[in-house]
Structure 1
């Protein structure tokens, strides 16, 4: 359903009835609302809602959610410059007020990635996957689904091809953060928002330097994922109960 909603304009574009393909990031959010309403009702919305607003987590996870994406971008940008890229002109144009404005708008806009994706992919799909699978396998499955969901952005809207494997890799970081925060969609929403507010594109690299920066960013994300797997193995063995859908369904839904 997420695919159907987000890709809804693709057939019309292919038939020449629309001038361009319009990708709708709200698909996962809308799909979660529809599926919960049809299959679970109020009890499902209550469980889903608790995950969406779960804010009582350690401060360190807020720091991870907000600062890890920034750190990955900064490391990627400075390594790119160390390989000979011109000094980043884009950074001179950034202002705190501008960044905070973008961050605030993206946080509440369902037609943007964070609010459009997180309640559906991490808030609904991931707990279902983790109810019967270990976190690493769940992350791999979700990563593949989320990556393919982004395909129209590469085919029609200019996203670099390296964005697809990057999406798969960073999904594992989302899963790790979701589980370590006890199943908090709020934390993954902040992570997603931080990731999209300050990007490698902010450095202003052009031509080959821009492509090199995106590749380095992908490698930085992969290294961050490997660090969680090696240094925090416990997080990948079993998801906490609060990050799964176990015990959430009404009796009539169990066993379907």
Structure 2
């Protein structure tokens, strides 16, 4: 097949194209394929790298042996952002703890939802591949733009003013992309921790612009406080990237 050499020679481009085509292919039917990055990674990884590509992706997804405080941060930071946003806008959350916990657990295991449907692709495949050539800061800036554009159809599928929805998606997606990169790189490339963080972030329906601005403040703090790690060579890279030496993942 003519597509095979393209997939093998340009795995990142192939991954991004498939992620857009699959996800946006549902838009005419009033839906959105949030699972597209997972499917794209499962297609491109074995074609570009063979069985080793799937093994590498799988190991990132089940990498659980990190220090306990990373689990606390993965859950605690999203919870703190929710609470701070509620405090700033003067509203009170009315959902029960049981409902939030159930939503969190469902999002952890549902491959059609954002955490499990997106993170194995964005963070498990694209991020380490891009970091073989670029710093974490440059990689994340590019990835933030790509993922934001990928999400834009949701602004027109959701209720409310599309212009307001676009602003929310842009600010929120850019902000959490920096948060997820920071968490991924500091846990030796654990997609599992990012899936947990993503599930915690969406366990409460809190999608206003103020909420996203709080996330933006978190992203700015992460970059400013830890700027050195954003500018130096990434601690987590993909072994399948051609002609680029591989670094060993470090858990800090």
TM-score, length of structure 2 as denominator length: 0.83
Cα drift, residue 232 of structure 1: 1.5
CA apart distance, 1:240? 4.5
Question: 214, 223, 228: which one pairs with 1:220?
Answer: 214
Structure 1 residue 170: Cα displacement: 1.4
Q: Deviations over 1:45-65 (max 9, x none)?
A: 111111111111111111110
The answer to whether the 8 Å contact 2:81/2:214 transfers is: yes
Counterpart-to-counterpart distance in 2, 1:193 and 1:108: 9
Q: State the 1:239 CA deviation.
A: 4.9
Q: What's 2:84 paired with?
A: 75
Residue of structure 2 in register with 1:244 after alignment: 237
Superimposed CA distance per residue, residues 197-255 of structure 1 (whole angstroms, 9 cap, x where no aligned partner):
02426xxxxxxxxxxxx2322221121111111212232123544x211xx22xxx735
Number of aligned positions between the proteins: 222
RMSD of aligned Cα (Å): 1.8
| 5+ long unaligned stretches in structure 2 | 1-17, 245-252
Counterparts of 1:84-99 in structure 2, within 5 Å, are 87-88=91-92, 91-92=93-94, 94-99=95-100
Contact 2:171 2:216 in 1 (8 A): no
Q: Tell which structure's C-alpha radius of gyration is larger.
A: 1
The answer for the alignment partner of 2:152 in structure 1 is 151
Q: Secondary structure at the match of 1:197?
A: coil
Aligned mate of 1:52, from 45, 61, 78:
61
Q: What residue number does 2:199 align with?
A: 193
Write out aligned runs for 1:2-17 (5 A).
Answer: 2-10=19-27, 13=28
Q: In the alignment, is the contact (CA less than 8 A) between 2:178 and 2:219 conserved in 1? A: yes
Structure 1 stretches of 4+ moved >4 Å:
none
What's the secondary structure of 2:202's corresponding residue?
A: helix
